[in-house]
Structure 1
Amino acid sequence: MSLVKEFKNRYKLSAINEKYIFINVIVFGVIALIGAIYFLGTKGSFNVFVADYFALPSNFKEMIFKPWTFFTYFFLHFGFMHLFGNMLGLYFFGRVFLTFFNVRQFVAYYILGGLFAGLIFAISYNLFPALKGTDSYLVGASASVFSILFGATAKSPSYTFNLFGVLRIPLWVIAGLYTLLFISSIPMNNTGGELAHLGGAFFGYFMTWQLEKGKDWSIGFQDLLDRITGLFKTKSSLKTVHKSKKRTYAGHDKKEFNEFNSQKKIDIILDKISKSGYESLTKEEKAFLFKAGKN
């Protein structure tokens, strides 16, 4: 098997958070490679060119003519440690998020959280006196990652985060410490970035808070993504020529009935987590919750 095919197979089998890690790393690698060649030939910085076209600018006039930067900025990283830190968070916090939510919700939190954070960044540089008149740009997936983290925290604040079996700490403590870090860092050099972090965190928490009330604010976005991805799916030329009467279960088809039972089981497990912590679950309950999060 060639390296390309092996990579494709690995990508297809990966969880959604791992797929996003692949995308971020590939973008970083391509920019780094072109940047190295560009530097050797010109002594110039290719990152300046990339930032000019794909990073989110703070200048409102420039921003109007580059609306795509609201999306592209959270796939850009110009430093290896910046990339590494964000991808580490995306991997671990993403796994926690997928314990409670499905793939479509992950995509919504990641992208919409990044867009909302970009909007907060844009407004801040054109609203607060401390930032007016200064030029900057926003890059990095951290706001999207914090949307994921705070979304999971709002769902199960007492969930115990376990890092390599060494660090065991509830999500609400992690979220609280990050919030303090963002606020305390605002007077420092990365003011716009910290405000964007707060924007992403707020969005993730708000989304889950609304979901718990039965309101899914991302459903329109999820439907839009379904339509877009549907355009690239190969349509089958086969036609159904027979009809069959569906068997119903308490007035529902089999799929709806199974989804209802699965959701009830998830609610029971989450209630157990909130009362006794994640470690109180059995192996079967943990496996079921993790599998449900991937669906």
Structure 2
Amino acid sequence: MNNNFGDLRYRFFKSGNPAMLYIAINIIVFIVVGVGSLFLPANMGDYYVNEYLAFPADIAQWPFRFYTIVSYAFLHGGLLHILFNLLWLYWMGNLFLDFLKPRQFQVVYWGGAIVGALAFALIFNLSPQLDSKNATLIGASAAVMAIFSAIATLVPNYSVRLLLFGDVRLKYLLLVYVLIDVVGVTPRSMNIGGNLAHLGGALFGFIYIKSLQRGTDLSSFLIKKPKLKVIKNEKPKQKSAAVNQVEIDAILDKISKSGYENLTAKEKQTLFDASKN
């Protein structure tokens, strides 16, 4: 049991794999919120989540709930919600890390979460048919969609095997998901906020890879620069004696007859010293 627990702890928290890290954090948050809700009156757990941790579409609330641009991405509305997101994060996240770096994963993941939330808020505030005052957003879907979109843009012809469908190329799989989200962006949709966030995340993942292919890495600000060492300059030591001109002339004659490569190491050093003087 101890070995199994240590192995899980290493894979989730110490392996350096950000996909596994976020899977673990999401599971922990889901359990804590679920258990905490048991000690509150009925429906009060959902109320506190929506009131204090979910991302609001109402721009007037942003100065007081600025932290929700991060917290919303760790919250889920039910077991199927978190299960679906984490399975896709596991599959697409590890595939992403086969081709790109962990720092690039971090930028795509959080860039997708932020752009997805802003896309959700933008449409809710622009559309007269949507209620921006009471709309909130939770879930890691936008961040996961950004990872999915990024890897599908980078290696569009990479195939994954799906139950009942066989091998499917990533570009076609992404296209299906995008179309589903586009169709779901209607005022009567039960998950219009989530669909908008998915599209925002997908757009960020696509833009990131296209920028990378053009030579601009949006994650370059995370590259650690090497520390510069200060070295005290010392005055060069003066030669104790002048170079013997006769010796130099003999070396030059030898070069003219047999070439520089036939000089001894001592003769080359003597010539070098003379050139500095």
Q: Mapping of 1:125-204 within 5 angstroms? A: 125-132=124-131, 135-163=134-162, 167-187=166-186, 188-204=189-205
Task: Name the Cα RMSD after superposition.
Answer: 2.5
Q: Aligned residue for 1:48?
A: 47
Q: Aligned residue for 1:18?
A: 20
TM-score (norm. length: structure 2): 0.74
- The structure showing larger relative contact order (alpha-carbon pairs under 8 Å, at least 6 residues apart) is 1
Q: Mapping of 1:82-97 within 5 angstroms? A: 82-97=81-96
Q: Aligned residue for 2:239?
A: none
Give the Cα separation in 2 of the matches to 1:143 and 1:134: 21
On the 8 A contact 2:115/2:201 being kept in 1, the answer is yes
On the 8 A contact 1:158/1:171 being kept in 2, the answer is yes
Q: Aligned residue for 1:210?
A: 211
Give the Cα separation in 1 of the matches to 2:3 and 2:90: 26
| Bigger radius of gyration | 2
Which sits farther off after the overlay, 175-184 or 113-122?
A: 113-122
> What secondary structure does 1:161 align onto?
strand
On the 8 A contact 2:141/2:194 being kept in 1, the answer is no
Q: Which amino acid aligns with 1:123?
A: L
Give the Cα separation in 2 of the matches to 1:201 and 1:156: 15
Which sits farther off after the overlay, 168-177 or 58-67?
A: 58-67
The CA deviation at 1:64 is 2.7
The CA deviation at 1:163 is 4.3
On the 8 A contact 1:28/1:78 being kept in 2, the answer is no
Which sits farther off after the overlay, 28-37 or 165-174?
A: 165-174
Q: Deviation per CA, 1:72-116, whole angstroms, max 9, x where unpaired?
A: 111111201000000011011112211211111111111111011
Give the Cα separation in 2 of the matches to 1:54 and 1:63: 12
Distance 1:92 1:133, change over 3 A: closer
> What secondary structure does 2:204 align onto?
helix
On the 8 A contact 2:57/2:132 being kept in 1, the answer is no
Give the Cα separation in 1 of the matches to 2:208 and 2:146: 9
Give the Cα separation in 1 of the matches to 2:131 and 2:108: 29
Distance 1:114 1:7, change over 3 A: same
Q: Number of residues paired by the alignment?
A: 223
> What secondary structure does 2:38 align onto?
helix
Distance 1:190 1:213, change over 3 A: same
Segments of structure 1 that go 5 or more residues without pairing to the other structure are 228-295
On the 8 A contact 2:103/2:219 being kept in 1, the answer is no
Give the Cα separation in 1 of the matches to 2:123 and 2:98: 34
Q: Deviation per CA, 1:40-86, whole angstroms, max 9, x where unpaired?
A: xx334212112211100111111232111111111111201000000
User: Matched residues, percent identical?
Assistant: 32
Q: Aligned residue for 1:247?
A: none
Give the Cα separation in 2 of the matches to 1:45 and 1:202: 35
Segments of structure 2 that go 5 or more residues without pairing to the other structure are 226-277
Q: Mapping of 1:1-295 within 5 angstroms? A: 1=2, 7-11=8-12, 12-13=14-15, 15-38=17-40, 42-132=41-131, 135-163=134-162, 167-187=166-186, 188-220=189-221, 222=222
Give runs of ≥4 in structure 1 deviating > 6 Å.
none
Give the Cα separation in 1 of the matches to 2:184 and 2:70: 25
Give the Cα separation in 1 of the matches to 2:94 and 2:163: 13
Q: Aligned residue for 2:245?
A: none
TM-score (norm. length: structure 1): 0.69
> What secondary structure does 1:64 align onto?
coil
> What secondary structure does 1:77 align onto?
coil
Distance 1:192 1:169, change over 3 A: same
The CA deviation at 1:202 is 0.3
